[in-house]
A = this chain, B = another copy of it.
Amino acid sequence: MLYSFDYERRTDYVETDKMGVVHNSIYFWYFEKGRTETMRSLDFPYKEVEQRGVIMPLVEQYCKYVSPSFYDDILIIRTFIDEFPTSKFCFRYEIFRKEENGNLTLLANGHNSLAFVDKTTNRPIRCPEWLSKLLYEKLGK
């Protein structure tokens, strides 16, 4: 594992469904949020990636639901980078509820991988050099 980053966020009413818990699809929003803030913490906000002409569409993703999340829960979204990106950038996630006593209860885990696509040609490319370099400097060795 090269890096992990914790992002804290409350669940919203609109995210719940009639089962009284957060809807299964919303966990993929939490993955997105966790990944976004992880990128920002490493000084390459995703917004900047797009400004430099690269988009990162999802290739695949998976979520395992361990325990339900309820309205107004305080979540910790823990994002892991396990290896340097090549043609894909893989992220792994663990989502916890922060209990009142500070304990963390695991609610879900999952992973996804994103491609790099040149916005102009709309073709897949390898991880841009500026990004590889930045990641090696921050996380290498």
Point out residues on A near B: beta carbons under 8 Å: 12-14, 16-21, 23-26, 28-29, 32-33, 36, 45-47, 55, 57-65, 68, 71-72
Residue of B nearest to A29 (CB): B14
Q: Output the least CB separation between A49 and chain B (Å).
A: 11
Q: Output the least CB separation between A51 and chain B (Å).
A: 10
A47-B72, A63-B60, A68-B57 are contacts. A25–B14 as well, Cβ < 8 Å? yes
Assess whether A71 is in contact with B18, with CB atoms less than 8 Å apart.
Answer: yes
Bound CA span A24–B55, Å: 14
A62-B62, A64-B59 are contacts. A13–B18 as well, Cβ < 8 Å? yes
Assess whether A64 is in contact with B60, with CB atoms less than 8 Å apart.
Answer: yes
